[in-house]
Amino acid sequence: MARQQRVVIVGGGVIGLLTAFNLAADVEQVVLLERGGVGQESSWAGGGIVSPLYPWRYNRAVTALAHWSQDFYPQLAERLFACTGVDPQVHTTGLYWLDLEDEAQALEWAKCEGRPLAAVDISAVDDAVPVLGGGFSRAIYMADVANVRNPRLVKSLKAALKAMPNVTIHEQCEVLGFVREGDKIAGVNTAQGEIRGDEVVLSAGAWSGELLSKLGLELPVEPVKGQMILYKCAPDFLSCMVLAKGRYAIPRRDGHILIGSTLEHEGFDKTPTQTALDSLKASAVELIPALADAEVVGHWAGLRPGSPEGIPYIGRVSGFDGLWLNCGHYRNGLVLAPASCQLFADLLLGREPIIGPAPYAPEGRI
């Protein structure tokens, strides 16, 4: 039986949407608020590789969430497809890392973590990915890495939530601050008026720090701009994801190829720039020379929610009863979403958590 709880979620990116999806069966009412359109910020703009770009360079706290999510993504996609008819397209292609400086560290990490990452001869990569550029000498490969078509994932989650009678989504509804009753957070103030709830969850991506500052709290989450470009090629043009010098190519099932991405500290400005376009095109052609003749069909920028070490904030905010965080996923929001939102639901509902929650607790970190 559902708890007599009304949960208000601030932010309609993948984290907010999946938080709502995971709570809906167990609470009386979920109200999701989004300042623009759901999933139109970094959730839409990202590449959707279901792995951190360099997993061995991350804190174990990020690795724990990533591994759980990677294993869970296929069944999440199947469940969403079954109930909405919108396929998030979790596409398992494998990923080649080329000419890594820390290859030995990567292989040692894989051995310790039991992940299927191995060195391969460059000639085998050339055979598997014939469009790959020359000039690369070493490669490592992980076969089970997938990518998710993030705009489809957002569309599928939105459709699933719209079908749930106890979930309400308010788009174009900016949250301006919080409703306080003593030490209790009893809701939020929006441009459309006050919206009250028993629990308030802040999942506002790059805007989370700004919102929390209205309570006098300093959350070190800041916008980090990333630009991407998109090519349209034949469906069988690129069989596998490839990554070199911090830039990657991701094939979608229909032949679209994503090239990303930049890392820019430009505040909340997300204007695409010619400098980034030129840089991304140069990386694209270095990775896959045939893209020199392909048409760029898209170029955009998004704002990642940058956080220290990329470790998200998941849990209750001490001193503010009823206030929770699920934010600050930096470059890995899509990767970490299934685990983060499952862990969050476990904490809010008082269940045994899927993994130890201590590293993500806001207490002591803000």
DSSP 47-103: --BSS-SSGGGS-HHHHHHHHHHHHHHHHHHHHHHHHHS----EEE--EEEES-TTH
Tell me what the mean pLDDT of segment 262-273 comes to: 96
323: helix, strand or coil: strand
Strand partners, 7: 30, 199
- Could you tell me which of 175, 153, 158 has the C-alpha nearest to residue 8? 175
What are 171-222's pLDDT values in tens digits? 999 999 999 999 999 999 998 999 999 999 999 999 999 999 999 999 999 9
Residue ranges per structural domain of the chain = 3-46+153-220+309-360, 95-143+222-306
Record the pTM.
Answer: 0.96
Given CATH 3.30.9.10, say whether it is the number of domain 95-143+222-306: yes
Asked if the model's pLDDT at residue 3 lies above 80, the reply is no
Tell me what the mean pLDDT of segment 261-267 comes to: 95
Measured on CA atoms in the order 260, 152, 206, 363, is the torsion positive or negative? negative
- Which residues, other chains included, contact 244 with Cβ-Cβ below 8 Å and sequence gap of 6+? 97, 98, 99, 136, 286, 287
pLDDT of residue 235: 92
pLDDT of residue 352: 98
User: Are 230 and 298 in contact, with CB atoms under 8 Å apart?
Assistant: yes
Tell me what the mean pLDDT of segment 23-51 comes to: 96
User: Are 205 and 279 in contact, with CB atoms under 8 Å apart?
Assistant: no
Asked if the model's pLDDT at residue 102 lies above 60, the reply is yes
Asked if the model's pLDDT at residue 2 lies above 70, the reply is no
Residue in this structure with the two tokens 């494998």, named with its chain if needed: 94
Average pLDDT in the chain: 96
- pLDDT band (50, 70, 90) for residue 4: confident
Asked if the model's pLDDT at residue 133 lies above 60, the reply is yes
- pLDDT band (50, 70, 90) for residue 233: very high
Tell me what the mean pLDDT of segment 84-105 comes to: 97
CATH H superfamily, domain 3-46+153-220+309-360: FAD/NAD(P)-binding domain (3.50.50.60)
Residue in this structure with the two tokens 């010619």, named with its chain if needed: 274
Task: In whole angstroms, give the CA distance from residue 55 to residue 83.
Answer: 32
270: helix, strand or coil: coil
Task: In whole angstroms, give the CA distance from residue 109 to residue 114.
Answer: 8
